[in-house]
Amino acid sequence: MSNIVVLGAQWGDEGKGKVIDLLAKDFDYIVRYQGGNNAGHTVVIGDETFVLHLIPSGILHKKKICIIGNGVVIDPKALIDEIGKLESKSIDVKGRLFISENAHIIFPYHKVFDELKENQKDESKIGTTKKGIGPCYADKVSRSGLRVADLMNDKIFKQKLKENVEEKNKILKILYGFDGFRFEELYEKYGSFRPKIKEFVCNTTLILNKALKKKKSVLFEGAQGTMLDVDYGTYPFVTSSSASAGGACTGTGVGPTRINKVIGVVKAYTTRVGEGPFPTEFTRDMMDKIRTKGCEFGATTGRPRRCGWFDSVIVKYSVMVNGISEIVITKLDVLDELEKINICVGYKYNGKLYEHFSPDREMIENCQPVYEQMDGWQEKTVHIKSFWKLPKNAKSYLKRIQKIIGTKIVLISVGSERKQTIVVE
């Protein structure tokens, strides 16, 4: 059995939750390696809809072991709430959920920094989820953050938290006139989380590597998407972690030689939430139509998602930087009613054609997408179970995407339920 990474190849919300849930049954371990509760991964099982933010989507398979790796940032309150929500639906996580002692912890001051910076509303606004993700990763990199292991050790926790609160309060006051936090309050609040998460905390790197030695299989669950990756995305309009395939190694302690394959999840069109360049973004009427048909509202913040045509430039780039060898196309059904469908095959800027993604911000913000137009199929696809039964024009659309991307499509999703999936033979 091989070990694979499944990640988003666009700007997030590609349908990773559904795909992970489908694949998880064939794996022993499912691991989140980056991000935090900025993610919202939806899994629909019959009449029940689950939205997972921190816990891997594999948790819905009762016997699977799920790991939150060291590359993830954890808001303990959000984690405890998520565990409670699962337990209220009779999904027991005890004994099969493990949390890395090296994962960093989100504190209320991270959220306040995130919010205050965002509320300044100048050109630097990113449109974050305001969950404190960026400031928490910033503390990690500046070596002042607190890790889960620190929370488990009262002496270290007290000292490090005190230092942090003192420093953050000064900055908050000077920069934003914000009154700050009381150390005792935070110390008590986070201390009360300790007994609730203690049983899950361990050396997950060791667990994973021991499992790999025993030939157990691991599914790495990406959050966000490649275009939101802090290195490869549309910086600065990105998240603060490595959402690309490399993050699976640094975020878990599993070496690259152990990973056999990377699968990219790709929506049949494009969406993004928050600010930042989006060359193929629809104009008003199409935006309303696709947003409504595709229920394009954030699974974490409820914000309306921006929608646009399929952009092969960014997907080709994702294939390259992640080493993607297989693609899953989701939400094909959302395009069912369209008469004409566009595929972006390049960007035009200053009289020049760009067929490859470039990090040049000036270009990506001001370019004109170059489209190939295809005929729509104008038939329902939600009930279709085999590639050959898809309408002719839907097959042509998928084949064209496959050709441009140069990567084979192995699964097609035509609805949010497990059974609304076509395996491409």
Is 150 a residue of the active site?
Answer: no
Q: What kind and span of H or E run contains 340?
A: strand 340-349
Candidate ranges 131-139, 181-189, 236-244, 331-339; the one touching ligand GDP (CB under 6 A): 331-339
Candidate ranges 12-20, 72-80, 200-208, 255-263; the one touching ligand GDP (CB under 6 A): 12-20
Beta bridge partners of 372: 343
Closest distance of CB 64 from ligand IMO, Å = 19
13: phi > 0 → left, psi -120 to 50 → alpha, else beta; which?
A: left
Name the residue among 58, 101, 107 with its Cα closest to residue 197: 101
Residue at 103: amino acid letter: A
Number of residues that bind ligand GDP (CB under 6 A): 23
Contact residue for ligand IMO among 247, 253, 274, 415 (CB under 6 A): 274
Contacts with Mg ion, 297-336, as mask; x by CB under 5 A:
--x-------------------------------------
Name which of ligand GDP, ligand IMO, Mg ion, none residue 129 binds, using a CB cut-off of 5 to 8 Å depending on partner kind: ligand IMO
Query: Looking at beta carbons, which pairs linking 84-93 to residues 24 or more positions away fall under 8 Å?
Result: 86/50, 86/55, 86/59, 89/48, 89/50, 91/59, 91/60, 91/62, 92/62, 93/55, 93/59, 93/66, 93/200
Of the pair 315, 345, the CB lying nearest Mg ion is at 315
Is 383 a residue of the active site?
Answer: no
Q: From the candidates 21, 26, 28, 41, which is the catalytic residue?
A: 41
Tokens 């309306």 correspond to what residue? 304
Please compute Rg for the chain using Cα positions.
22
Name which of ligand IMO, ligand GDP, Mg ion, none residue 274 binds, using a CB cut-off of 5 to 8 Å depending on partner kind: ligand IMO
Closest distance of CB 225 from ligand IMO, Å = 6
Q: For residue 72, give the DSSP letter.
A: B
Contact residue for ligand IMO among 100, 239, 312, 407 (CB under 6 A): 239
Candidate ranges 166-174, 221-229, 307-315, 318-326; the one touching ligand IMO (CB under 6 A): 221-229
Distances (CA, A) of 296 to 153, 306, 348, 401: 43, 8, 28, 22
Q: Which positions from 206 through 265 interact with Mg ion, judged by CB under 5 A?
A: none
Beta strands in 53-119 (DSSP E): 65-68, 73-74, 97-100, 104-105
Sign of CA dihedral 201, 205, 206, 210: positive
* CA dist., res. 19 & res. 15, Å (int): 7
Is 276 an interacting residue with respect to ligand GDP (CB under 6 A)? no
Residues at the interface with Mg ion (CB under 5 A): 13, 40, 299
Residues at the interface with ligand GDP (CB under 6 A): 8, 12-18, 40-42, 44, 294-295, 299, 330-331, 333-334, 413-416
Residues at the interface with ligand IMO (CB under 6 A): 8, 12-13, 38-41, 126-129, 131, 133-134, 223-225, 228, 239-240, 273-274, 299
